[in-house]
Chains A and B, each alone.
Chain A
Amino acid sequence: MNWNKEGDENTALDRVFRAYRDACPDPEASANFMPELWRRIEERQRSVFFLGRWARAFVTAAAVLSMAMAAYLYIPHSRTSVFSMESYVEALAAGHAQDAQDLIEPAMDEL
Chain B
Amino acid sequence: MLVDFEVIKRAQTGDSAAFNEVVLAYRKRTLGTIARLISRPEDVEDVAQEVFLRLYFSLDQLRTAEVFEPWLYRLTVNAAYDYLRKHRRRMESRMSDLSEQQVMLADAAAGGRVDHEVRQRRQITETVDAMLSAVSEADRILLTLKEVEGLSLKELENIYKVNENALKVRLFRARQRVLKAFGEAGKEASVEGTAKAEA
Contact = CB atoms under 8 A, between A and B. Distances in A.
A20 B27 contact: no
B147 A14 contact: yes
Q: Is chain B's binding surface mostly helix, strand, loop or mixed?
A: helix
Q: Is chain A's binding surface mostly helix, strand, loop or mixed?
A: helix
Given A13-B178, A20-B148, A40-B49, A27 B32 contact: yes
Nearest to A28: B28
Nearest to B121: A23
Interface in B2-40: 16, 20, 23, 27-29, 31-32, 35-36, 39
Interface bracket on B = 35 or more
A24 B36 contact: yes
Given A1-B189, A24-B35, A30 B45 contact: yes
Interface string A21-64: 10111111110011011101100100000000000000000000
Interface string B152-193: 000000000000000000000001001100110111011001
A29 B5 CA distance: 24
A2 B45 contact: no
Interface in B96-127: 120-121, 124-125, 127
A12 interface: yes
Contacts of A16: 124, 127-128, 131, 182
A26 B45 contact: no
Scoring B29, B45, B49, B187 by chain A CB atoms within 10 A of each residue's CB, the highest score goes to B49
Given A2-B193, A37-B49, A20 B183 contact: no
Contacts of A101: none
A40 to B, nearest CB: 5
A19 interface: yes
Contact of A27 (B41, B127, B185): B41
B36 A44 contact: no
B29 A37 contact: no
Interface stretch (A3-11, A66-74, A80-88, A90-98): A3-11
Contacts of B44: 27
Contacts of A30: 45
Interface of B: 16, 20, 23, 27-29, 31-32, 35-36, 39, 41, 44-45, 48-49, 52-53, 56-57, 120-121, 124-125, 127-128, 131, 147-150, 175, 178-179, 182-183, 185-187, 189-190, 193
8 contacts: A3-B186, A9-B183, A16-B127, A19-B124, A21-B148, A21-B149, A27-B44, A29-B31
A-B interface, 3 closest residue pairs, ranked by CB to CB distance from nearest: A3-B186, A26-B32, A23-B121
